[in-house]
Amino acid sequence: MVVTTMKIALIQPPSGTPALKVPPLGLGYITAVLKRSHIEAKVIDLNVENISLSTYLSREKPEVVGVSSIVTNARQALEIARKTKNILPKSFVVLGGPYLSMMGDRLVTRHKEVDATLRGEAEFTFPELIKRLRNGESLDDVEGLIFREDDEIKSNSPSNPIDPLDQIPYPAREELKMELYGENAGSIFTSRGCPYQCIFCSRPVFGRKWRGHSPDYVLGEIQHLREYYGISNLSVLDDNFTVDSDRAERILDGIIAKKWKLNLYFWNGIRVDHMTRNLLLKMRKTGCTAINYGVESVDPEVISFIRKGVSLDQVEKTIRLTREIGIRANIFLMLGNPGDTAKVADKIMAFVGKVQVDGVHLSMATPLLGTKFWDWVEKNGCWLDYDREELLDWPIDDVDESYPVFETPDFTTYERIKAYRKTRNLLKEKGLLI
């Protein structure tokens, strides 16, 4: 029987974009670890649940409210913190996730409604925080925690990446409204982290140390999704599924051996230099319908500068091989990278036509705090009049209305917006924008 002496709410803020309406697996993992210690938590995903948060807070009066946030819903996360403190001034409000992990002590310092932030992976540190709060113990050595104590801001040592990953239970999907996520319900992480050095990439939670679940763990989670939720569409959200190619092949071999009928989709980007004919053939046998390749630019000099570590020749060969085997080959591209000019739109469309990709995910290149890209703009660009302290008006970077937050002498704000909209419109006309 699950018992608790402290009422806990874990909240996912609204994102404002349908693409992000996926199960909040981070909160699911934390909830699963809490349940293992007989601690109950209520998960609320405001992306899909039509509830009044004020009514819930007033009625249920949770003593601890945890809010997960990325950059593009940071404003909403802080609003949830304010609302919670207005209704429940004695509650303990802690924020976590990628946004909070990159911001250091800025938010606890600037926002009295935020009692603490928890940096990095929180599956073990959040339950430790709950135990300390419940027992009235010191918070001084809860790893990753930044908190306020008697008007003093304290910053504990960072937490280490969880390794091995298999010690974490499957996300507590039974605490989520799984029926509301549609084809995204089958989202899954099989690994965490990425060892590569792309200048634009921020990894404040999973970090650069790659760690993979064992094939047995992954196959067990897929079986769980199939049996309990009837999942046939499986979206792999890993930063880098193929770092360990042997592990990747063993997962695919397991799916093939079990004769599961899946529509397998690698959403978050796979490196073109990791793909082989054998790997692609196995992906096809598992029911893989589409792969998104992280390409980022079609200019060789730009690719080199952003440290992507691949060549356009590798990109072209992998896309052709993927399509030849019968899998849709989509690519991620950014417009406005260091080195881009007003000619970038024409370069993108020429490349897309030449290689015949099946889809393009186009975003405005937007620096994140703590990246080499941010440092490059500080030295070589000119920031526009947007908030760089808390990034609260940083754009959703892959929608029609996106906008640049910096410019350079050879690629002005006007030229960036014009090139971005032109490229998106041309891709739409060809049915390629995803």
Instruction: Note down the domain range covering 39.
Output: 8-155
**Calpha distance 51→46 (Å, rounded):** 8
Asked if residue 234 belongs to a domain, the reply is: yes
Looking at the chain, the whole-number percentage of residues with pLDDT higher than 90 is 91
Q: Which of 27, 105, 111, 11 is nearest to 64 (CA)?
A: 11
Q: How confident is the model at residue 2 (pLDDT cuts 50, 70, 90)?
A: very low
Q: Read off the pLDDT of residues 292-319 as tens digits, 9 standing for 90 and up.
A: 999 999 999 999 999 999 999 999 999 9
Domain co-membership, 296 together with 385: yes
Instruction: Quote the percentage of the chain above a pLDDT of 70.
Output: 98
CA angle at 270 for the pair 332 and 428, rounded to the nearest 5°: 25
What mean pLDDT is predicted for residues 222-239?
Answer: 96
DSSP string, 374-393: HHHHHHHSEE-SS--SS-TT
Q: Which of 44-53, 208-217, 390-399 has the lowest mean pLDDT?
A: 390-399
Location of structure tokens 């196995």: 282
In angstroms, the CA 336 to CA 344 distance is 8
Same domain, 119 and 196: no
Domain final residue pick, 133, 155, 177: 155
Q: What is the per-residue pLDDT for 16?
A: 64
CATH number of the domain that residue 113 is part of? 3.40.50.2300
Helix/strand/coil for 433: strand
User: Does residue 91 have a pLDDT over 90?
Assistant: yes
CA angle 106, 112, 116 (to 5 degrees): 60
* pLDDT range class, residue 3, cuts 50, 70, 90: very low
Tokens of 324: 């030849």
Residue 38 CB neighbours (<10 A) = 10
CATH assignment of the domain containing 315: 3.20.20.70
Query: Within this chain, do residues 226 and 82 fall inside the same structural domain, yes or no?
Result: no
The predicted model gives 4-20 an average pLDDT of 81
Tokens of 211: 């760690």
How far is Cα 365 from Cα 60, in angstroms, rounded to an integer? 42
Considering the domain boundaries, does residue 3 fall inside one?
Answer: no
Residue 176, in any domain of the structure = no
Measuring CA to CA, which residue among 144, 67, 69 is closest to residue 104?
144
pLDDT at 69: 94
Look up tokens 């104590």; give the residue.
149
- Rounded to whole angstroms, how far apart are CA atoms 190 and 92? 32
Phi, psi at 414, each rounded to 5°: -60, -45
Number of domains in the chain: 2
pLDDT at 191: 96
Asked whether residue 93 falls in the same domain as residue 197, the answer is: no
The region of weakest confidence among 4-8, 170-174, 208-212 is 4-8
CA distance 80 to 247: 40
CA distance 369 to 102: 7
Spatial separation of the C-alpha atoms in residues 76 and 118, rounded to whole Å:
18
